[in-house]
Chains A and B, each alone.
Chain A
């Protein structure tokens, strides 16, 4: 597989899940077990292909697009079918396939009411194509299609397999995201006509930038900002997230936190920044302020939660705040931090949602007060895993969560592109508040651990036979646990891959 010519590999990896979804839909619904196994095989083969792509990826040239495909698609509007990947896409693409594979394994044992593995897994595979496509599409129209393709399967996943308030949560998720994405579409079209080059290619538009007047840059950035900020989600556009995450089935939450949120930050970095550099610089302080509000607000909300899953959902708001703080820094370290934080949050929070799902399977509740402590005694292995992941999430050095947060704050002290000249005081303040946020984060996670892990099991659960971590759970969790540790010790695994690509990107931004 030569990364310069093997565009087919990427196309196959991308559409294999979609074809697989069709194949699953053809199977008779009575073949419950076989359907679940088939899904594992499909996602497994796709993941193996992505591992192969990663192996053949030319890391020496990670700044350039590899595995490209570029053919005309809709000639009437000049849209092309343009795929490729560079150092920024690769980690996210890899994460998508890994998480979906693990979710398929997890689903062989766990699937909430009303069952129906055929429909569930078909939707999950459709979702996979949508998510993965977003990270490798290099044509704005194609990007938009993949972006929107994610909505429908996720709507059904939440709406059919979700918790008690699933109706509300699924519709809210759909409408909220849709609202942002149409504004984004309008902005894309404005960019297309303003550039006047008859191209939707993200690369070509980045090279042409900056174009248009200051007013144009501001408004176009605003449209794109709405679309991406809702997806991230940034405060104050986050209100769909706690509902969607809490009500979604475990697999849905894992993919939502692990991949879907990343689409927003990826969009900022891949599209908004390089194509609209002037708009970005103008909006950067605002993004920084909203990000830090998100960090503080998310942490405070976490302190008030009584439901474990809702707590994890709100923690996402805080963590994505750190990611956006990195973006707001507008320098190389900041972008690196944002992308690293993306991956780390995907792995850690995805893992936390797995744990929350398994907690619910055992206790049939997620109320902290009802669980009432003593998990380390009752189900010790589970308790240890939870402790490990929670500590990673609060940013303990040596685990994956640390690097994104630390580097983001470090980068924000001296923002790039001349922002530091005007706003150095503001950014210093932001860093101070973000640092306070890390303390709060540590606070709510440690408090959570104290309430559910430590102490004696309450009377209600003392006699109840509860399973410790099952084999299927070990299989689907171990890769994530290993990654948390590995990325914590060797952050260069991600930083190194992204380095050249981020340098390129900063070149477009003029920094």
Chain B
């Protein structure tokens, strides 16, 4: 079998970078270890270049189990961009706390190797490997503040839940292999079509796989690890888990539901639709009660996963469903890109404000506008975007979801929209509360001066500008995500 090296060049570049980082960590001493972060950054840029080259290309590798198409390239660019941003917000955090810099960057890069494999994977086994490559380093990273009990709790919870979800998923996958005789996604679709929807055990297997991904994207009722893990992990790791790891889960879920399980859409779409309703409603209601900003962002990201699940609830099977399914896939991808920009930004500001103080209560944000207008403005833009108000890209993200629902409106789609509306309003209540605290309340006396540092400020500014520019020109994303044929290219 010939290997198409160019198709896997981004993965190779990132893997090599990870190894170089590990070697550098062994050989560098003391403050010289700070050089590791720029090293990782350079490797990421190289990987981005290799990915960008693939734009517009259609390639397959390893007998069709690994594909390159625009769907995959968009996701890879999203992940690598997120990696660059996370490197930016990590630098000071780890350089100052001086622990495990080399290990951290090595694990981070490894995890992202898994992520960029995910959107290309068209085989259950490759999907599984990618998912594990994402998760296993993340278990370790969550526990990196090892002197903190919270961090250990975070890591342990994350690990146990992660392993449980993987076990369920594997069980489901093995049964699917038993029914269809293949691990290749398009073949599974053909196999399922031949069997029909009458086999209860097959439906059970499908549900098990979906539940496994449900843990990854922290959908209710599989979400309870997320807030504790985010709150306990080092903050850059929380940002990575909330954005990149979740996006990887969605990439896998998109591929497996819209390609392999497409003939069963009538069964899983309502299930995921109901999960969407539960996820956004519960996430928002619990977020209302939070006093800790990271926990608030955690529950908000649970709710955001709920919004992103809505398009799954609209999916249908059969040849007539192509238009609706395309609109649904596109809505998810658009939302993921927007979500990455705004959520990493929000975590970045949180890191800048709370880097030196262990307390992360929302009350600490009082008077942020006076302490650092830039950070306050950034946080305002990101929170408005998460809520979906202009002038931010979050508005278009919501619009894409509504558009998918209205493409061919069904009663269930309208129900989903009603919940989306109600939830958007609830969500604004807590986003506005933070904004209000930053701008309208007086700062406490004696707070340390804020020194976000160049990297972090740059990331916040770039993401903030991005949030607004993408509002004016959403074509930059929607042009790239208007893909007809995730399914066809499978």
Chain A residues in the interface with B (C-beta under 8 A): 73-77, 141, 145, 148-149, 151-152, 155-156, 159-160, 166-167, 170-171, 174-175, 178-179, 182-183, 185-186, 189-190, 192-193
Contact = CB atoms under 8 A, between A and B. Distances in A.
A317 B61 CA distance: 67
Contacts of B408: 193
B421 A189 contact: no
Interface string B416-451: 010011101100110011001001100000000000
Given A167-B436, A175-B428, A179-B425, A148 B407 contact: no
Contact of A145 (B390, B429, B479): B390
A472 B402 CA distance: 49
| Chain B: interface size category | 20 to 34
Given A159-B439, A166-B440, A171-B432, 14 more contacts: A74-B473, A74-B478, A148-B389, A151-B389, A152-B391, A159-B436, A175-B428, A179-B425, A183-B421, A185-B402, A189-B402, A190-B406, A190-B409, A192-B406
B429 A175 contact: yes
Contacts of A174: 428, 432
Contacts of A185: 399, 402
Nearest to A155: B432
A186 B421 contact: yes
Given A185-B399, A189-B402, A76 B436 contact: no
A77 B473 CA distance: 12
A227 B72 CA distance: 39
Contacts of B474: 74, 76
A120 to B, nearest CB: 12
Contacts, number: 82
Contact of B482 (A76, A151, A166): A76
Nearest to A192: B406
A271 B268 CA distance: 38
A179 B475 contact: no
Interface of B: 384, 389-391, 395, 398-399, 402-403, 405-409, 417, 420-422, 424-425, 428-429, 432-433, 436, 439-440, 473-475, 478-479, 482
A141 B474 CA distance: 12
A189 B428 contact: no
A171 B407 contact: no
B490 to A, nearest CB: 23
Nearest to B441: A167
A33 B417 CA distance: 49
Given A76-B482, A156-B439, A160-B440, A148 B390 contact: yes
A145 B479 CA distance: 20
Contacts of B389: 148, 151-152, 178
Nearest to A149: B390
Contacts of B429: 171, 175
Given A74-B475, A152-B384, A193-B406, A175 B417 contact: no
Nearest to B436: A159
15 contacts: A73-B475, A74-B474, A77-B478, A141-B399, A145-B395, A148-B390, A149-B390, A152-B391, A171-B432, A171-B436, A175-B429, A182-B425, A189-B406, A190-B406, A193-B406
A145 B403 CA distance: 15
A76 B399 CA distance: 12
The 5 closest A-B pairs by CB, nearest first: A76-B478, A189-B406, A182-B421, A148-B390, A179-B425
Contacts of B475: 73-76
